[in-house]
């Protein structure tokens, strides 16, 4: 089931007088950069892991046959690697629509590879949204991904591109790579 968060996100944060905002991407925002940015830097956030537990009814699946895409799940002592983008606030007009199926914007502390950090935003689909599918064995997730496709393409393309992007970042994500092994 779809859960449109576009308007909720637009009311959630005020960017009055703010020239730019850092955004952390951990899924397709790493490799599918269809928005303008002022700066791009590898980064990570603490206390979160990437999981294929969110349903995609509007991009990599359909309402009748949802695909699976990543969200973040809290986990003590964890670290999630991704890409940070410094963007103008008006870019959220596009991103809020792109990430509308259950994702909400949250504040987070970003850590950059050079040891510096910054406050930023991240889209997370929490378990209380209607599109949340929850945990499943990696083999089951791979089967669902292999069978799913939607307006943005095949769900397996999302998984493969994410795995490739994580390798380019030097990240070892056991969950993503295990699903990829089952898929191949």
Coil, helix or strand at residue 89: helix
CATH: 3.10.490.10, 3.40.30.10, 3.30.70.2660, 2.40.50.140. Which one for 6-183? Answer: 3.10.490.10
Checking if the pLDDT of 12 tops 60, the result is: yes
CB 123, CB 69: distance < 8 Å: no
CB 153, CB 162: distance < 8 Å: no
What digits encode the pLDDT tens for the residues 77-93? 999 999 999 999 999 99
Q: Cα–Cα distance between 163 and 109 in angstroms, integer?
A: 24
Alpha helices in the chain (DSSP H): 6-12, 28-31, 92-98, 138-147, 155-168, 174-183
H or E, element range at 56 = strand 39-56
Checking if the pLDDT of 50 tops 90, the result is: yes
Q: Which residues are catalytic?
A: 99
Q: Where are the domains of the chain?
A: 6-183
Checking if the pLDDT of 13 tops 80, the result is: no
């Amino acid at each position: 089931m779809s859960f449109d968060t576009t308007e909720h996100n637009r009311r959630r944060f005020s960017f009055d007088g703010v020239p730019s905002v850092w955004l952390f991407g951990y899924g397709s925002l790493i490799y599918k950069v269809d928005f303008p940015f002022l700066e791009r830097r590898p980064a990570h956030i603490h206390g979160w892991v990437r999981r294929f537990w969110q349903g995609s009814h509007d991009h990599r699946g359909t309402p009748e046959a949802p695909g699976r895409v990543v969200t973040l799940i809290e986990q003590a002592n964890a670290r999630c690697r991704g890409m940070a983008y410094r963007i103008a606030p008006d870019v959220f007009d596009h991103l809020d629509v792109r990430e509308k199926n259950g994702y909400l914007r949250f504040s987070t502390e970003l850590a950059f590879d050079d040891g510096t950090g910054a406050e930023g935003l991240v889209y997370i689909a929490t378990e209380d949204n209607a599109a949340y599918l929850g945990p499943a064995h990696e083999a089951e997730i791979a089967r669902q991904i292999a069978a799913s496709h939607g307006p943005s393409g095949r769900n397996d393309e999302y998984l493969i591109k994410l795995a490739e992007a994580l390798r380019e970042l030097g990240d070892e994500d056991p969950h993503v790579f295990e699903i990829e092994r089952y898929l191949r």
